[in-house]
Amino acid sequence: MKKIFAIIFACTVAILCFPSQQADATENSSFSVKAILPDNQASSVTYFDLQMKPKQKQALKVEITNHSKEKITVNCIANTAITNEMGYVDYSIPNTKPDKTLKYPFADIAKESASEVTLEPNETKTWTVTIQMPAENYDGIILGGLHFKEKKAEDKEKDADKNDVQIKNEYAYVIGVKLTEKTTVVKPELELNQIKPATRNYRNVVEMNLQNTKATLVGGLAVDAKIYKQGSDEVLHEAKRTDLSMAPNSNFNYSVDWENKELKPGKYKLHLVAKNADDKWEWTEEFTISSDEAKKANKVALGLEKDYTWMYITGGVLLLLLIITATYFIGRRTAKKKHDAE
């Protein structure tokens, strides 16, 4: 059996909205990172919250300290903030495809001094990322994260027994970066895009794409999605979630679980409400699941509960026809015997 890699990411800072400025080494982590906050820090928070100007160029500095007794290498990268498929702001994913409304991805205006830093035992080095702001005035925020993860030696994996299940702990740290030019508050605007059947973790779902089209963070978001058969008021499936968040100019697929049922072709209706403390959005949209879409999803999904209703109906009809036929012939035979006896 081939070696199975179960990768456990233990993040020691909260990254649901804004990651912390300093990530101290845990008992099992070999390094820590610390942001050196500049003079144009806009607030007392511990991440980079910077008041910038058009065309401004600025170097952000982060101290990386090796707390181990061995030489280590740390991978360092500047990522654009996105909304992941769980419905949370995520700063840890590199090379993401930007939302079509995102004009200035953080990764495009940030240039790292190095993609990795090597440290001797107990050594501290300063890593730098240079920000180049756009030339035009910018409303709202540009949001990103500085992601740090220890680089593991490839030969350690090659030496492992191929028949063993290997658990590899990788400790990653993220420092958030929020860039603003104006104090103007930008209100979020959410849009509902494509609605489609899909499979997620081998379970049938219907996904609806939610998009934040403005350069502002959406926090404390509650979403309630109800799906009906077209023409019916009975809720077929529903998904409620709270405390979601969305990055500026980003989108994600919110899913309604089909509860281990087969997807059936037909016309459906979605009623979706998304709201936070200040705003509310509501949509009612009709959509269709085609035979090909249902067949494709059902083929991938595992543990589906089969619907045998049609078999029971067919069996019942056949049984009824059999009884009627048998009754008819028995009646005819009885009548014939009676006629012959006379």
127-186 residue pLDDT tens: 999 999 999 999 999 999 999 999 986 534 544 544 454 545 667 999 999 999 998 899
Residue 171, H or E segment: strand 165-180
Q: With respect to residue 185, please indicate whether it lies within any of the assigned structural domains.
A: no
pLDDT value for 337: 66
Residues 54-72 pLDDT 10s: 999 999 999 999 999 999 9
Give the HSE-up count for residue 324: Cα atoms under 13 Å, Cβ half-sphere: 6
8 A C-beta contact, residue 91 and residue 174: yes
Examine the domain organization and report whether 61 and 11 are in the same domain.
Answer: yes
Calpha distance 342→338 (Å, rounded): 6
- If one counts every other C-beta atom within 10 angstroms of the C-beta of residue 176, the result is 25
- Tokens 């993040």 belong to which residue? 11
Ramachandran quadrant class, 243 (left: phi over 0; alpha: psi -120 to 50; beta: rest) = left
| CA-to-CA dists, residue 193 to 133, 147, 199, 252, 275, angstroms | 31, 30, 18, 10, 17
Give the HSE-up count for residue 66: Cα atoms under 13 Å, Cβ half-sphere: 19
Predicted confidence (pLDDT) at residue 117 exceeds the cutoff of 80? yes
Among 180, 214, 243, give the residue marking a domain's end.
180
Examine the domain organization and report whether 290 and 312 are in the same domain.
Answer: no
Examine the domain organization and report whether 232 and 138 are in the same domain.
Answer: no
Domain of 76: which CATH number? 2.60.40.10
pLDDT band at 305 (very low <50, low <70, confident <90, very high): low
pLDDT value for 14: 36
Calpha distance 81→96 (Å, rounded): 9
Examine the domain organization and report whether 146 and 202 are in the same domain.
Answer: no
Examine the domain organization and report whether 327 and 288 are in the same domain.
Answer: no
Mean pLDDT of 331-341: 67
The one-letter amino acid at 290? S
pLDDT band at 31 (very low <50, low <70, confident <90, very high): very high
Answer with the residue of higher pLDDT: 134 or 20.
134
pLDDT value for 159: 45
Full domain range(s) for residue 263: 190-300
Mean pLDDT of 18-40: 75
8 A C-beta contact, residue 93 and residue 84: yes
Q: What's the DSSP call for residue 3?
A: P
pLDDT value for 5: 34
SS (H, E, C) 216-246: CCEEEEEEEEEEEECCCCCEEEEEEEEEEEE
pLDDT value for 327: 79
pLDDT value for 9: 33
Q: With respect to residue 218, please indicate whether it lies within any of the assigned structural domains.
A: yes
pLDDT band at 307 (very low <50, low <70, confident <90, very high): low
pLDDT band at 324 (very low <50, low <70, confident <90, very high): confident
Give the HSE-up count for residue 337: Cα atoms under 13 Å, Cβ half-sphere: 6
Examine the domain organization and report whether 60 and 167 are in the same domain.
Answer: yes
Among 126, 152, 180, give the residue marking a domain's end.
180
Examine the domain organization and report whether 92 and 72 are in the same domain.
Answer: yes
Number of domains in the chain: 3
Examine the domain organization and report whether 39 and 162 are in the same domain.
Answer: yes
Q: With respect to residue 341, please indicate whether it lies within any of the assigned structural domains.
A: yes
8 A C-beta contact, residue 175 and residue 145: yes
Nearest to 270 by CA among 190, 195, 189: 195
Among 125, 159, 180, give the residue marking a domain's end.
180
Nearest to 101 by CA among 209, 225, 260, 11: 209
Q: Is the dihedral of CA 96, 97, 100, 105 positive or negative?
A: positive
Q: Which two tokens stand for residue 320?
A: 């009824």
Least confident stretch, 41-55, 61-75, 256-270, 325-339: 325-339
Mean pLDDT of 106-123: 97
pLDDT band at 1 (very low <50, low <70, confident <90, very high): very low
Least confident stretch, 242-251, 256-265, 314-323: 314-323
pLDDT value for 10: 33
Q: With respect to residue 144, please indicate whether it lies within any of the assigned structural domains.
A: yes
pLDDT band at 304 (very low <50, low <70, confident <90, very high): low
Compute and round to an integer the Cα radius of gyration of the chain: 30
pLDDT band at 7 (very low <50, low <70, confident <90, very high): very low
Examine the domain organization and report whether 13 and 154 are in the same domain.
Answer: yes
Q: With respect to residue 69, please indicate whether it lies within any of the assigned structural domains.
A: yes
Examine the domain organization and report whether 123 and 241 are in the same domain.
Answer: no
